[in-house]
Amino acid sequence: MRLIQLTPVIEHSIVNTYSPACPIAYLPPAALQLLKRLAEVHLIMSSNTQGTLPCLAVSHQIVIISNYCMRRTATLYCTSIDILDNDSLLNIFRLYRPVILDEDEVDDCYILTGGEWSRERWWYKLVHVCRQWRSLILASPPHLGLCLVFTYRTPVARMLAHSPPLPLIIDHLSQEHDVTAKDEE
């Protein structure tokens, strides 16, 4: 296992927990808990039940934390996420896609209707991490299965005007909520 010490200048860092096999870094679960308390965790990536992260087994996690927290946890061994090439990042993003319908779901009606569609918004935060991630993600909609989700609270017009032409999901589950002009603005 090769550990690379954190440098204080990096923008974002990636920590692969639980996995001695991963060449990037290793943190035991206890350290992860400590990190979570100290860190401003931007993203926790969990492999879904249908896939595994590269080189990792199911249930491994990747945590991306800010430079700020890295300074506070400088004894932790991490490396800059910048060492990952675009293909690797894309693969990680793809594996980060959530399961829309949990395997342990017991409500048959919920299963029938297709699960939690709001999880399709998984990539919304990622595109705000940095310009590189934004352009990388938005350049790969089919690969990442990107789509825009509209609920009754979504500012539809604004979102359509400022988003790339991605597939649309309309998820309006409020029995009482009326379709008003407000929904359209």
Which residues of this chain interact with another protein, rule CB under 8 A? 104-106, 108, 111-114, 117, 147, 150, 152, 156-157, 160, 165-179, 183-184
Smallest separation, CB 101 to another protein (Å) = 12
Task: Kindly list the distances between the CA atom of residue 104 and the CA atoms of 53, 68, 87, 100, 115, in Å, as whole numbers in the listed order.
Answer: 21, 37, 32, 12, 11
Smallest separation, CB 133 to another protein (Å) = 23
**How large is the greatest C-alpha to C-alpha distance in the chain, in angstroms?**
58
Smallest separation, CB 113 to another protein (Å) = 6
The angle formed by the CA atoms of residues 128, 129 and 134, to the nearest 5 degrees, is: 65
Q: Which is nearer to another protein, 30 or 181 (CB)?
A: 181
Smallest separation, CB 90 to another protein (Å) = 21
Q: Which is nearer to another protein, 94 or 172 (CB)?
A: 172
* Rounded-to-integer distance, Cα 35 and Cα 65, Å: 9
- Of 99, 102, 96, the closest CA to residue 124 belongs to 96
Q: Which is nearer to another protein, 8 or 165 (CB)?
A: 165
